[in-house]
Amino acid sequence: MIDSLDLEAWIARQKDRSAMAIQKAISATHLIRRRDAFGQTIVPSKGSVLASPVIANWDPEPDYFFHWLRDSAIVMRTVAELMQDASSASERERWRSHFEDFVRFSLTLSNLNGAAFLSRTDYRRATHPEYRQFLRDEAEIRTLVGDALLGDVRFNPDGTIDILRWSRPQYDGPALRALACLRFLASGGSETDDIKRLLNLDLDFTRRCAGRHCIGPWEEPGENAHHYYVGLVQLAALTHGRAWVSDMTAEWNAAEDTLRANLESHWLESGGYFIARQPASAALAEGMLDAACLLAVWDADLRDGPHSIRDLRVQKTLIAIEKFYRQEFPINHARTEEQGHALGRYRGDRYFGGGAWYPTTLAAAGLYIVWRSALRKIAGISSGAETHLWLPCAI
């Protein structure tokens, strides 16, 4: 059993390490990425956020030297929280500056134009013949303007269009970016013209795309569907965005209603958990136990009601996921039901061998911490008291 004081000290140390690692991925203008096979030399722009600053060529490490809309938004939401919790004015200013640079960079991405890119770049000729199989079609790139651009997955961190094939479209990026901007404003960030422009852009896009099929957060090819994760963060953006938008339209209300109805269809009564995507046959649904549903609840941060952390079905979903991975992963075999478990992504995951994954495991831990905190308040237990309130129950 880990002593609570040791755990608190470890968390404090890890928070500092994680904050330093996050900062290395933001505005990494000192790095140079050469994709010689594609004729590219990329220097990250100020405000870009690298999915990974590690330079690799699928040898065997993956090439994640891109600015993903989803990943960057989640990182910058954390930056807003770091700004709020800063221990000094200089630290607060550093995080604030990073966020405002991110907003400006995001606005430049929204102004890109695929046809204009093609008029000045012969990307196929610049690519070695052996690697042209990995390129996006010219017709696809030509469509990149407006909503098609906002529904793209990732960009080069120098602010140029990604020419490589990937699973597209994805509609959660703008919703998550809106949530990050709202978190920044709630943390005391300035409501600049740039912030307002980006928020309007992302919220309007989210309203228009609510309920549309797209690729999910694991970016698996061929899974163009309604994804629980995408739908829930879209609903969260519109729900949290209500406090910021002065004119609420009938289209906004209709979009929320569509998302709520779609999300309800993900509850699998026979399994007792939420499934990752719809539509799905009964046979497929039984195999769609997926920790993306936990990440969805965590990232959406709805205060109450269906699909919030207070929804008993969320707790049941976590129990089902833990039960599966307790049997699936040898690392969990010696652990009791009362102890935390390492979680993977989804049943049958084989990406880089599958296995346990930090984000899903930590999402589960975060949910437990919130539930236990709520139970302490109900029971009138002080935060320092020893308890065994670990297993989830209705709150």
Q: Where are the alpha helices (DSSP H) in 250-311?
A: 250-264, 282-285, 292-300
Question: Do 237 and 347 share a domain, yes or no?
Answer: no
Question: Do 215 and 284 share a domain, yes or no?
Answer: no
Question: Do 238 and 273 share a domain, yes or no?
Answer: no
Domain of 124 in residue numbering reads as 1-245
Alpha-carbon gap, residue 335 to 110, rounded angstroms: 48
Burial 241-267 (b: 16+ CB within 10 A, else e): beebeeeeeeebeebbebbbebbeebb
Query: How many other C-beta atoms lie within 10 A of the C-beta of residue 128?
Result: 10
| CATH code of residue 33 | 1.50.10.10
Alpha-carbon gap, residue 283 to 212, rounded angstroms: 24
Is there a domain that residue 159 lies in? yes
Is there a domain that residue 251 lies in? no
Question: Do 356 and 241 share a domain, yes or no?
Answer: no
Task: Dihedral sign for Cα 198, 203, 205, 206, please.
Answer: positive
Question: Do 205 and 314 share a domain, yes or no?
Answer: no
Is there a domain that residue 118 lies in? yes
Q: What is the mean pLDDT of each run of 10 residues along the chain (395 residues)?
A: 74 93 97 97 98 94 97 98 96 98 98 97 97 97 97 98 97 98 97 97 97 96 95 98 83 96 96 94 84 97 95 96 95 88 94 93 92 69 41 37
- Global pTM value: 0.93
Is there a domain that residue 302 lies in? yes
In order of 138, 161, 201, 231, the CA distances from 109 in angstroms are 19, 8, 12, 23
Is there a domain that residue 195 lies in? yes
Question: Do 152 and 275 share a domain, yes or no?
Answer: no
Q: Tell me, what amino acid is at 254?
A: A
Is there a domain that residue 290 lies in? yes
Tell me what pLDDT residue 2 has. Answer: 60
Task: Give strand pairing partners of 274.
Answer: 267
Is there a domain that residue 257 lies in? no
| Structural domains counted in the chain | 2
Is there a domain that residue 252 lies in? no
Question: Do 226 and 301 share a domain, yes or no?
Answer: no
Is beta strand 67-68 parallel, antiparallel or unpaired with respect to 33-35? unpaired
